[in-house]
Homo-oligomer: A and B are copies of this chain.
């Protein structure tokens, strides 16, 4: 049965990098992948066109798609929109919520060809392979009540950090199952010495643990986790945490690989439908210059093939093609170093296609 894929280029460098990833998708079709590809608007561009960061039409297409490939959303142009609900980021958050994409997989991998690019000492990051599992549709980014209101003669801003047992259990299972397929170590990150919401989090993780006797579960406070990531990242295998802590820690982890332009991510719901996007942002400063790194987006296609389209062989072929291109010394500006050849966004796309 033909499955649908929705490409959402988004803002900033989004259109350039998804253009290259779409070429790879087309090449997969040529190799027999039975998909139908559509495009849609999300984020700032959608707001400009329709006054909404997540237009109804996009949501409808997204619901019908098995996999969604997103570039990136947001930029200074829309940072001043008064109504927070209309900002580009809210389009992304809305899509996650509407599709129930609660399971965010954020690999932090150091590519052997790029270990030098890390700000950390080489020995600390060479061979690094962490999977951060971030809960994506709950926690403080979605909690109610929220707002800014007048209390006792002054304004007060408030948000609610909230998790239910079932939300925690659901993401916990994703993480335990991933750990079983990897190094069998799961570190759950919380602030259970201070926050009640994370006491419940820890409790549920503990309750699940006996069902996964082959996985070693540990717990770490978020402040310590931020330190340990910097100090000795290789101590981690799978990390599971809530939406906000996951946002912060996964970005820090991605950056310390030195390969943030290389890192894909997946956001999955219970039926395996997923949204795939690079870990990096919309980089408005370099948008439209054909210099952005398309590899994270191309590798997001590989993740989509693996997690939503059940095409692991094609996924591996894409990953190998990327490896070959790196071996040949081709680099976009963000990962360039001495002795490598700096290429443009589209040249990088050409090279991956040629190696595919």
Chain A interface residues (CB < 8 Å from chain B): 74, 79, 84, 87, 89, 93, 119-121, 124, 140-141, 143, 146-148, 151, 154-166, 191, 193-201, 222-224, 226-232, 244-245, 247-249, 251-252, 254-256, 260, 281
Contacts and interface: CB of A to CB of B under 8 A. Distances in A.
Contact of A155 (B74, B84, B165): B165
Contact of A231 (B148, B194, B255): B255
B121 A157 contact: no
Contacts of A120: 119-121, 230
Contacts of A197: 146, 148, 157-159
Contact of A200 (B74, B155, B164, B201): B155
Given A93-B194, A223-B247, A232-B119, A199 B255 contact: no
Contacts of A157: 162-164, 195-201
Nearest to A155: B165
26 contacts: A79-B193, A84-B199, A89-B193, A119-B121, A121-B121, A143-B158, A146-B195, A148-B199, A155-B200, A156-B163, A157-B163, A157-B197, A157-B200, A158-B160, A158-B162, A158-B197, A159-B162, A159-B196, A160-B161, A191-B247, A223-B247, A224-B251, A226-B249, A227-B260, A229-B252, A230-B252
A196 B147 contact: yes
Nearest to A74: B193
B196 A146 contact: yes
Interface centre among A87, A158, A222 (most CB of B within 10 A): A158
Taking the full assembly, how many copies of this chain does it contain? 2
Given A119-B120, A255-B231, A166 B140 contact: no
A194 B148 contact: no
Contacts of A87: 193
A340 B245 CA distance: 38
A252 B249 CA distance: 10
B200 A227 contact: no
B156 A162 contact: yes
Contacts of A158: 143, 160-163, 196-197
A223 B249 CA distance: 8
A294 to B, nearest CB: 20
A6 to B, nearest CB: 23
Contacts of A89: 193-194
A154 to B, nearest CB: 5
Nearest to A200: B157
A194 B141 contact: yes
Contacts of A196: 84, 146-148, 157-159
Contacts of A256: 230
Nearest to A226: B252
Nearest to A225: B248
B248 A230 contact: no
Contacts of A124: 119
